[in-house]
Chains A and B, each alone.
Chain A
Amino acid sequence: MSKGWRLGRASRLLQAPGTEPVARERRSQPPLGPPAVLDVANLSVRLLLHRERTMSIREYAIWALKGRRIEGEEFWPLRDISFVVDPGERIGVIGPNGAGKSTLLKVIAGIIPPSVGRVVVRGRIAPLIELGAGFDQYLTGAENIFLYGSLLGFPQKDLERRFGRIVEFAEMEEFIDVPLMNYSVGMAARLGFAIATDVEPDLLLIDEVFSVGDAAYKTKCEKRIESFRNKGVTIILVSHDLGLIRETCSRSLFLHHGRIVAVGPTAEVVAAYERFSSP
């Protein structure tokens, strides 16, 4: 574990205002085993559909003049989600499209703020969500390693040290000084995966990233994830691949319409989901 990891060293507590830090009280209690890596309590995300669409200034003025009365429809991508993840656990998240799986990962990663409730993360997160978001098409692969790496919060020195390893894992030696726009989609994805996973996180968030690259590279990625697994890294895996979920995860959440429908041992939750999706 590198010393330079400044970002993730701090635990992060995301919470909606009005819900005072429960974590503060938690401290005074006697410790019961290692603290949870992730603690999600009463988490909801609300969208006000009228407000979240882009209005022009004129539309806004009319809306404001009418006393902001026209209450639009509310939409809750996530509703009353609570669960705790202990160190070393591997949690699967399943559900139909639009169930809120990706939104949940984004809230945990700090990208989407919670509207209600709180999310406490203790430790470093490695979010394998939308790999390569932040890549610049005009910069070379090497330059992008530093740009994307710093976007993920890695210090410069760390990146310099790990540069060779990243390039090697991405199998990118010949193309590293070529602008990214000349890369194939698979190459860029490989580079993104190599940068994001060249860490030892406490919490790994995976959102269906196994679809990158050819069969051989896919195996390589799976091996790396497996090595995280063997090291006891806590993993939250969102996937439609029920076989993978069964194989990887001890416990699972079944989300539907933003709510937890079932939570428990993977076998039971997957069975419930299968009953749900094949009536």
Chain B
Amino acid sequence: MSADVLKPQPGIYLADHRSSGPLLTLLRYRELLRQLVIRDIKLRYKRSVLGFTWTILNPLFAMAIFTMVFSRVFGGGRNYPLYVVTALLGWSLFSVGTTRGMESLVLNGPIIRKVFVPKVIFPVAAITSQVVNFLFSLVPLALFMLVIGAGFGASLLWLPLPLLSLTCFALGLSLILGTFNVFFRDVKYIYEAGVLAWFYATPVFYPPEIIPSKFKFLLHVNPMYALLESLRAPIYLGTAPPLDLFMSGFVISLSTLAIGWVVFHRYEAQFIYHV
């Protein structure tokens, strides 16, 4: 009997017996995706007086703090507030998105155990709601740029590309971390510590030039450097993202997403016994 016992693996097929595959299933559930994102945004500010205004205020506060603390040290003739806020927004999309995406499977365990649902929808929803959040934060950013008299150039049209790249990376990493976190809850705590170290290792609030040359290699192994610099260029420099950085970031993002997608769907069938 044991010979024909194989690893559990769901296959979902259409009436004509073509496999509909996980991507198509996800597409069919886009309504649920929308609902999950709406729920996330609605609940985030439930019972708060300022409500959605916090989405606007939060990055401004963070920018103000970093400016007060570091502008003397790292300012060096640049427009430090604008320099720091663009990367902060990107970093927050990444760190909050991956953390929530990683936890989303365990948090939605009751649903996974009781309803048929493409499980990948939970990390996708977590990332999507951070992207929505990012887009909303562009409003205060634009206001701030108006106030300080920064130029609005055509370079801003480049913004969707580095945003897409960053989103793919965050989603890919969420899928990998989320899968491992289902089996080992330690992953969450390790990552929470790790992401903090990662933040300091990435030129978000300091310029890359200050890194001592013997540690410069860190920039090349850290995809977040390429991703954030690509995001920063259209807003802060008013130029297109540097091609080499953007391309290397994009390649890493897509590879991470591909690996995450495969890993996730390989172990997906076992999730129900662990969430």
Binding site for B on A (CB under 8 A): 6-7, 9-19, 21, 23-24, 27, 44-47, 52, 54-57, 60, 109-116, 122, 127, 129-130, 133-134, 136, 138-139, 143, 146-147, 150-156
Determine if B35 and A12 form an interchain contact, defined as CB atoms under 8 angstroms apart: no
Determine if B9 and A16 form an interchain contact, defined as CB atoms under 8 angstroms apart: yes
Binding site for A on B (CB under 8 A): 4-15, 17, 20, 28-29, 31-32, 34-36, 39, 42-43, 46, 110-111, 113-117, 183-187, 269-270, 272-274
Determine if B46 and A111 form an interchain contact, defined as CB atoms under 8 angstroms apart: no
**In the complex the two chains form, what is the Cα distance from A134 to B107 in whole Å?**
11
Determine if A116 and B29 form an interchain contact, defined as CB atoms under 8 angstroms apart: no
Determine if B5 and A11 form an interchain contact, defined as CB atoms under 8 angstroms apart: no
State the Cβ distance, A107 to closest chain B Cβ, in Å. 10
Given known A-B contacts A23-B17, A56-B184, A111 and B29 have beta carbons under 8 A apart: no
On chain A, the residues within 8 Å of B270 by CB distance are 52
State the Cβ distance, A105 to closest chain B Cβ, in Å. 11
**In the complex the two chains form, what is the Cα distance from A170 to B106 in whole Å?**
31
On chain A, the residues within 8 Å of B4 by CB distance are 18-19, 116
The 5 closest A-B pairs by CB, nearest first: A133-B114, A110-B116, A130-B114, A13-B13, A113-B10
State the Cβ distance, B261 to closest chain A Cβ, in Å. 18
On chain B, the residues within 8 Å of A12 by CB distance are 12-13
* A45 nearest CB neighbor, chain B only: B8
* A118 nearest CB neighbor, chain B only: B11
State the Cβ distance, B273 to closest chain A Cβ, in Å. 4
Determine if A134 and B43 form an interchain contact, defined as CB atoms under 8 angstroms apart: no
Interface Cβ pair total, 8 Å cutoff: 129
Given known A-B contacts A18-B4, A55-B184, A110 and B114 have beta carbons under 8 A apart: no
On chain A, the residues within 8 Å of B35 by CB distance are 146-147, 150-151
* A139 nearest CB neighbor, chain B only: B39
Determine if B185 and A54 form an interchain contact, defined as CB atoms under 8 angstroms apart: yes
**In the complex the two chains form, what is the Cα distance from A27 to B17 in whole Å?**
10
Determine if A150 and B6 form an interchain contact, defined as CB atoms under 8 angstroms apart: no
Partner of B28, one of A6, A24, A47, A56: A6
Interchain Cβ contacts under 8 Å between A and B, 15 examples = A11-B13, A12-B12, A18-B6, A21-B13, A23-B13, A54-B184, A54-B274, A109-B116, A113-B10, A115-B6, A116-B5, A134-B111, A138-B46, A151-B32, A153-B29
On chain B, the residues within 8 Å of A45 by CB distance are 8
* A26 nearest CB neighbor, chain B only: B17
Given known A-B contacts A10-B20, A111-B116, A153 and B28 have beta carbons under 8 A apart: yes
State the Cβ distance, B197 to closest chain A Cβ, in Å. 19
Given known A-B contacts A113-B269, A139-B39, A147-B35, A14 and B11 have beta carbons under 8 A apart: yes
State the Cβ distance, B31 to closest chain A Cβ, in Å. 4
Among B32, B183, B270, B272, chain A packs the most CB atoms within 10 A around the CB of B32
Determine if A116 and B39 form an interchain contact, defined as CB atoms under 8 angstroms apart: no
**In the complex the two chains form, what is the Cα distance from A13 to B186 in whole Å?**
36
